[in-house]
Chains A and B, each alone.
Chain A
């Protein structure tokens, strides 16, 4: 709890594949002039953490502190910070932007040139390096995450936003990552009058993408998942139609719903852990049994097959490496547009806060579980298996 004197702070650390633990780690310090130290009051789990915890993302190191979606109080500022004061309650975007490069200046903050100290590593894997991210792999900087009593926030002038009155921690925490991601996914769909949008995944990201698509003018939104409680939540809170892919032929149902056209836009909000059934699923599993490893991409395939000719597939689910069985032929012959990316916190966070404050985007319902940091391992177990109706777990590191 104490920061002075180096007695350490509590943090939830990754300790190997499917293993997390609460540890007492050294206090975060101001390292750069633009840094702030934030006392974390709420920090959410995210589907991205499951990819990290499961060992599907390279360059995780034992001891890395997880968490990238958080709210807290500013307790210390570097000498270069101009817009924040200590004592302010802020919500911080999950991606870190410098504010001065071409990408930041043109609104594509998650592609920032200057916030990944390990840029060389990701250049080897991807050709160029994206921005730094809190609580993620060393490919994106290995920054300590927010599942901790305190966290260092680099370039705080650009990443930390004052919380409007009237939004409580368990609701506003999603302005950090999930709401901006959902909004960006919907924006990528270039929605016009009469558009039908299908969303794979009814996690927080899928729910918020569905809600955003309606706000941006979609005629109808369909959310696809296998968990009845999540599908019910999407109907009740996001105003979506739903399909359970365990009991429904999704391709057939979408064709029927759109009278054969297919959805005008498809959003993939599942990522690497996607379930896949049938032949391609067998193929995926066989390959990994044979140690021919690749990311599982079942929902991406479904979205591409379902999408109408000339439509858009927006992929916000996270992938790290290569995929097999990618239906490139369908992309080509249907003239599809594929869009993707990590969300641009600094661009979408203000929009998110505004919409949330007006009540357009409800988020309180996403927090099905709240618990102290000590219960982190249990929290991730619930979230991973979607048991006990778990949609999101929010940790309260201050107890």
Chain B
């Protein structure tokens, strides 16, 4: 079975290894991130920033700030509070491993 993205994810850190104990096929998103793409488009051309290819650290920092109420938000402050550090890390690693975002110079 080939699952390149999860191997790539694993190379990014231990937390991902723990969370991805169950293998997922190539191109599949972690289920904890499944809902993100409802608003965050693969193409970074709208008012909601795209996440694909964004450095993991950036996503982790933003989520921490949303969760702490330290960053101006409309809904992300309310959503971030529902995710643990481990979940946020796994989501961030996955998005970071997805290559360059379309339409983001």
Q: Do A and B come from one complex?
A: no
Interface residues of A (CB under 8 A from B): none
